[in-house]
Amino acid sequence: MKSEFKAKFLQHLNQKKGDKGFTLIELLVVIIIIGILAAIALPSFLSQAAKAKNSEGKSYVGAVVRAQQAYRLENTSFSNSFTTLKIGLPTQTVNFTFTITGANADSTQVNAIALDTAALKSFAGKVTTDTTSGTRAMSCQTTSASGTAPTPDPVAQTCTGGEPMI
């Protein structure tokens, strides 16, 4: 190689080593990409948080329904109290208020009323006596966020104000 060309080539290599760091454009592109990814991920994250909170209401209603069925096998009527069911569930959590309504010898209903009516569904479970199988049970959830519990009908297998829980 010619010595002139070698000198310019070495000068060029040394010049590139002196330019360290990122340009403003490169940084802006990275920030925009991070912003787009965050905009895509945030709604998904928020919906997962609501699903997790809704699962609390679902599982508590299911636990009370099963406890009521067991209680009715040993007693002449359903329980009207969480204390007598002895399942250790509170009547209120951060997300729901739980109540037992209409407990008598023939039926009972447990409601999980959402405290955050803009994001959480409400749930209900009902147990009735049945001459052939002992008891019938059904649980329902509202179709969207609500502060009103649906009304399950275990005999007709319908939900007024909601849909069956899956």
The whole-number pLDDT of residue 14 equals: 66
Residues pairing with 138 in the sheet? 126
The whole-number pLDDT of residue 160 equals: 92
Say yes or no to pLDDT of 52 above 60.
Answer: yes
Residues pairing with 124 in the sheet? 111, 140
Tokens at 33, concatenated:
């990409």
**Mean local confidence (pLDDT), 7-17:** 67
Question: What is the C-alpha separation between 150 and 111, in angstroms, rounded?
Answer: 8
Question: What is the C-alpha separation between 134 and 49, in angstroms, rounded?
Answer: 38
**Mean local confidence (pLDDT), 121-130:** 94
pLDDT band at 16 (very low <50, low <70, confident <90, very high): low
Our CA dihedral for 126, 52, 143, 79, rounded to 10 degrees, sits at 10
Residues pairing with 114 in the sheet? 96
Sign (positive or negative) of CA dihedral 45, 119, 61, 89: positive
Say yes or no to pLDDT of 165 above 60.
Answer: yes
| Average pLDDT for the chain | 88
